[in-house]
Structure 1
């Protein structure tokens, strides 16, 4: 893929019925689901686990495929594979690459200024919340 084409993996990290939103500390505007670029030798699942480990010092267990989002703007063609990742109640994410973290319930999903691709996921998750979490026993 060229610099304009980017393939990333992201995690909908779930704990106690809430989803983790992260705001990066590298100057990027907006909130995101944790994750990042898929390296050539990685699967999307491997990249998701690695990025969450690097960004939040969390070890993810089961990853449930949620969706793949495609976002295009003049600077970027993005494909983002998104996974749901439940974590134990006592797991505490560390802010290794973020300036702020928030746990958001269903009614709070649109209370932050998401990056465009992440906004699409947040909107769909808000609509399908019960179906998603009931089917994954979360």
Structure 2
């Protein structure tokens, strides 16, 4: 499985000035920004919409491109396109593919054990918190 490259899309799902963190039942241990692999011919934005619908039962509206990160895990290298995705305050994610979900405020972002690629994104998002929330009018 060495030298395997994965392209994934993930969402920083934002509601009530908090970000959604997710922990899967299977796979790598740790918390992540929800999302998943792109299918052949699928754009990162389309994959993000599809994955969030499949994993959380949420329909996302406008996605704001945030960053793209590349992280080399021992088994594979992952390129992750990350989008900010505000959701309605009444939107409730479902545990369709995760063991646990948590809404984290800015001061709580580092209170969970993030997967390495996600940790870099979360740290940069934490630093840009006010700018991101102001730019997205949340």
- TM-score normalised according to structure 1 size: 0.96
2:106 aligned with 1:106: yes
Tell me the secondary structure at the aligned position of residue 55 of structure 2. Answer: helix
Unaligned runs of 5+ in 2: none
2:89 aligned with 1:89: yes
Give me the whole-angstrom Cα distance separating, in 1, the residues matched to 2:107 and 2:68: 23
2:123 maps to 123
* 1:27 to 1:74, Cα distance in 2 relative to 1, 3 A: closer
Give me the whole-angstrom Cα distance separating, in 1, the residues matched to 2:3 and 2:18: 34
Task: Note the C-alpha offset of 1:26.
Answer: 1.4
Two-structure CA RMSD over aligned residues (Å):
1.2
2:24 maps to 24
Tell me the secondary structure at the aligned position of residue 9 of structure 1. Answer: strand
Unaligned runs of 5+ in 1: none
1:33 maps to 33
Task: Note the C-alpha offset of 1:27.
Answer: 4.3
Tell me the secondary structure at the aligned position of residue 72 of structure 2. Answer: strand
**How many residue pairs align between the two structures?**
137
Give me the whole-angstrom Cα distance separating, in 1, the residues matched to 2:36 and 2:95: 15
Give me the whole-angstrom Cα distance separating, in 1, the residues matched to 2:37 and 2:53: 13
Task: Note the C-alpha offset of 1:25.
Answer: 1.0
Give me the whole-angstrom Cα distance separating, in 1, the residues matched to 2:9 and 2:40: 13
Bigger shift: residues 20-29 or 77-86: 20-29
Stretches of 4+ aligned residues off by more than 4 angstroms: none
* 1:37 to 1:27, Cα distance in 2 relative to 1, 3 A: closer
